[in-house]
């Protein structure tokens, strides 16, 4: 006997047949109404219904007789049950079925038709049934021997003809798997394009089909990207996608990709290029192509980008990168220093490329002297306007510090306006006529070594006098009153000496400022309490004002240090001196100077005291009291500067 051609019955249908037998429906008619099915389901359950359906045809309710000669599902079942089923006949019958019968087929005939039809005939059948795209593809897959045996070209017409709503119904894992089986690495691109999915879904399907590392490249992906909207591009440009794109791209094509994904974000471009691997040439090209200055300047605030530049650049390349970026000197120099490049080299490049054009700055850079001493000399002799131009930013100061290191401070001082600065030591020696007029005067000799510091800036001359005050051994009274005395003395000294005179020449007029520090310095003074008798109070010995125990001398000893500071900057006394001494100090003849008061001893010897001068018995700081300062400044002025004179 020839083997049966009828399709095998499923296990579910077999179980249902047994249930039908037990229900009393054995030998049921060929057509069964919906009412009968309902009764069967109530009495025997779902399996009985399944078994009966497998053996009979369901009659629509209300049951109506088919028009004479009409094609029905019974005709289809007959053909499907035939010893030899004609595929063409099956397709023909399906095409003649009524719309309700076609819906019945769509609801439950996939397995029967897939068993009977091949792929081509199933395609015709689903077309006749008016099936939606997901159903057609599902039934075609069922009819195919294996899914991978289907070519996308065999189903493309279905995809392109379907409305977008039906195409969108395929956007799930089930149909992604179907399409990745159907498509090749090449046709998956055609498929996702035909499906008109969003960009993220397209690429996810492509990723499922083709290896990003082995099969994909930017040239294949670019048409999808260039056709996408900014919103779509944003979905595939998050950091979560970076690993995929680094697999797809080379160093060169990553530089192309970032222009598509981040058209207005240079920082993001460079970060992704760094993740892929890049080089200075690609980086510079990306910077050069960026016309928005704000995108370039934003790079300076990003530590990752700076790290990238340091790793990729040598000194010269880093200098060129920051020149390409633009920005302030401060922004640029931080990257140059991070690279380890000399700031002198950077400044020279700025001048050479016309990025620094201010004449004083150009001259400074071109004239960098090579030694701190020579550089200081250059700067201190600049005119005021050119020096001010160098200080409009920190370039000159930064270059000086970087170039001269530990020797830079005098150079920086010159940049900040200092023309000269130095310590001065003076040694004084004088003979005075001491004693009362009732006896011959006694010649006494006084003197000492004193130190102070002079700084000549373009806007002032500063005289700094440092004094170390130490209470006399065992003098507890002096120690206790010293803090108060320091406050009094500082105020009196400052009031008398500070800003009393100016120095002037055709270039500038500068005040002479005094900075007297009573809390330490190179001039040692012992501080005493109690009564004083001349010459016990002098430049090395001071007495504290004591309004309790020595009220009568408190005012005098409060003012005495003002006079003594005059000695510390090199001035001699102007009291109890002979005529030659007087004229040598004051420049005036004692006999005719109304400020000079004479005294004559019993031997006929006359001495003179200037009763107005602070260095005599008066309180006035005279012009000659700062002659030491004047002389020093004139010795250290600029080479083209005229000598100074003293003015009030």
The bridge status of strand 442-457 relative to strand 418-434 is antiparallel
The answer to whether residue 571 sits within a structural domain is yes
Q: What share of the chain is helix, strand, coil (3-state, %, to 5)?
A: 55, 15, 30
Can you give the pLDDT at residue 6?
33
> Are 454 and 460 within 8 A, CB to CB?
no
pLDDT band at residue 68 using 50, 70 and 90 as cut-offs? low
* CA–CA separation, 141 and 134 (whole Å): 11
Quick: pLDDT tens for 34-50.
444 445 444 454 444 44
- pLDDT reported for residue 349: 98
Inter-CA distances, 517 with 431, 483, 565, Å: 29, 13, 11
β-strands 523-528, 541-543: how paired? parallel
pLDDT digits (tens, 9 = 90+) for 444-484: 999 999 999 999 999 999 999 999 999 999 999 999 999 99
Q: How confident is the model at residue 66 (pLDDT cuts 50, 70, 90)?
A: low
Tens-place pLDDT, residues 548-584? 999 999 999 999 999 999 999 999 999 999 999 999 9
The confidence score (pLDDT) of residue 211 equals 82
42 part of a folded domain: no
pTM, to two decimals = 0.73
Residue 22 is predicted with a pLDDT of 43
* Secondary structure (DSSP) of 90-152: HHHHHHHS-HHHHHHHHHH-HHHHHHH--HHHHHHHHHHHT--HHHHHHHHHHHSSSGGGS-H
Would you state the pLDDT for residue 542? 98
Q: What is the mean pLDDT of residues 166-182?
A: 96
| Any domain includes 641 | yes
Which residue segment(s) compose the domain that 436 sits in?
421-647
pLDDT beyond 70 at 59: no
In a domain, 161, yes or no: no
Quote the CA–CA distance of 464 and 239 in Å, as a whole number: 63
Give mean pLDDT, residues 378-389.
97
Q: Which of 371, 288, 299 is nearest to 331 (CA)?
A: 299
For range 49-60, the mean pLDDT: 47
Look at residue 278 and give its three-state secondary structure.
coil
Instruction: Tell me the mean pLDDT in the region 86-96.
Output: 97
* 436 or 43: which leads in pLDDT: 436
Q: Is residue 268 part of a domain?
A: no
Our count of domains for the chain comes to: 1
In a domain, residue 514? The reply is: yes
As a three-state string, the secondary structure of 32-94 is EEHHHHHHHHHHHCHHHHHHHHHHCEEECCCCCCCCCCCCCHHHHHHHHCCCCCCHHHHHHHH
Q: Is 420 left (phi over 0), alpha (psi -120 to 50) or beta?
A: beta
Tell me, yes or no, whether 194 lies in a domain. Answer: no
Q: Are 376 and 411 in contact (CB under 8 A)?
A: yes
HSE, CB side, 13 Å, CA atoms: give it for residue 177.
Answer: 6
Distance CA 272, CA 283 (A): 11
**Given this model, what pLDDT does residue 65 score?**
53
Q: Which residues contact 558 (CB under 8 A, 6 or more apart)?
A: 485, 488, 489, 492, 545
Residue 643 and residue 637 in contact, taking contact as beta carbons nearer than 8 Å: yes
Average model confidence (pLDDT) across the chain: 91
| Distance of alpha carbon 493 from alpha carbon 563, whole angstroms | 9
pLDDT in the model for residue 67: 63
Q: Tell me how far apart the alpha carbons of residues 488 and 485 are, in angstroms, rounded to a whole number.
A: 5
Residue 616 lies in a domain: yes
């Amino acid at each position: 006997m020839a083997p049966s051609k009828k399709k095998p019955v499923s296990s579910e249908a077999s179980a249902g047949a047994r249930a039908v037998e037990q229900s009393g429906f054995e030998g049921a008619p060929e057509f069964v109404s919906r009412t009968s099915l309902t009764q069967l389901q109530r009495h025997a359950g779902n399996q009985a219904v399944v078994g009966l359906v497998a053996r009979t045809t369901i009659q629509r309710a209300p049951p109506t007789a088919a028009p004479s000669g009409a094609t029905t599902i019974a005709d289809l079942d007959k053909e499907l049950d035939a010893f030899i089923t004609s595929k063409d006949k099956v397709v023909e019958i399906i095409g003649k079925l009524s719309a309700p019968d076609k819906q019945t087929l769509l609801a439950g005939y996939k397995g029967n038709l897939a068993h009977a039809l091949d792929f081509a005939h199933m395609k015709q059948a689903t077309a006749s049934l008016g099936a939606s795209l997901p159903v057609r593809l599902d039934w075609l897959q069922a009819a195919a021997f294996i899914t991978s045996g289907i070519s996308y070209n065999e189903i493309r017409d279905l995809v392109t003809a379907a409305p977008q709503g039906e195409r969108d119904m395929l956007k799930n894992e089930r149909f992604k798997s179907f399409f990745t089986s159907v498509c090749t690495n090449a046709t998956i691109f055609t498929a996702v394009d035909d499906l008109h999915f969003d960009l993220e879904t397209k690429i996810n399907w492509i990723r499922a089909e083709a290896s990003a590392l082995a099969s994909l490249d930017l040239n294949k992906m670019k048409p999808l990207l260039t056709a996408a909207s900014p919103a779509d591009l944003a979905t595939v440009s998050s950091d979560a996608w970076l690993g995929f794109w680094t697999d797809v791209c080379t160093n060169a094509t990553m530089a192309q990709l970032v222009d598509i994904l981040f058209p207005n974000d240079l920082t993001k471009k460079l970060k992704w290029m760094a993740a892929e691997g890049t080089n200075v040439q690609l980086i510079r090209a990306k910077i050069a192509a960026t016309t928005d200055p704000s995108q370039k300047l934003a790079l300076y605030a990003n530590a990752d980008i700076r790290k990238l530049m340091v790793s990729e650049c040598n000194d010269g390349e880093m200098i060129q990168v920051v020149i390409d970026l633009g920005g302030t000197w401060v922004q640029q120099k931080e990257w140059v220093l991070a690279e380890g490049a000399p700031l002198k080299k950077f400044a020279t490049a700025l001048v050479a490329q016309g990025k620094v054009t201010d004449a004083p700055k150009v001259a400074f850079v071109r004239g960098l002297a090579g030694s701190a001493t020579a550089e200081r000399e250059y700067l201190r002799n600049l005119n005021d306007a050119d020096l001010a131009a160098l200080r409009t930013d920190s370039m000159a100061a930064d270059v000086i510090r970087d170039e001269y290191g530990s020797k830079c401070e005098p150079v920086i001082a010159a940049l900040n306006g200092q023309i000269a600065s130095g310590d001065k030591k003076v040694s004084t020696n004088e003979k005075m006529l001491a004693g009362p007029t009732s006896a011959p005067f006694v010649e006494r000799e006084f003197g000492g070594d004193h130190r102070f510091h002079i700084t000549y800036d373009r806007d002032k001359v500063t005289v700094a006098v440092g004094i170390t005050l130490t209470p006399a051994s065992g003098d507890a009274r002096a120690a206790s009153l010293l803090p108060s005395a320091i406050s009094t003395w500082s105020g009196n000294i400052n009031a008398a000496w500070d800003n009393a005179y100016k120095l002037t020449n055709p270039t500038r007029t500068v005040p002479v400022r005094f900075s007297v520090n009573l809390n330490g310095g190179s001039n040692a003074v012992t501080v005493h309490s109690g009564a004083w008798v001349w010459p016990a109070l002098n430049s090395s010995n001071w007495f504290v004002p004591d309004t309790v125990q020595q009220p009568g001398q408190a005012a005098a000893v409060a003012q005495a240090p003002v006079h003594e500071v005059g000695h510390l900057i090199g001035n001699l006394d102007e009291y109890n001196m002979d005529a030659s001494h007087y004229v040598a100090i004051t420049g005036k003849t004692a006999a005719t100077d109304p400020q000079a008061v004479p005294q004559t001893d019993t031997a006929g010897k006359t001495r003179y005291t200037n009763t107005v001068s602070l260095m005599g018995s008066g309180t006035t700081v005279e012009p000659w009291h700062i002659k030491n300062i004047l002389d020093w400044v004139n010795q250290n002025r600029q080479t083209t500067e005229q000598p100074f004179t003293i003015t009030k």
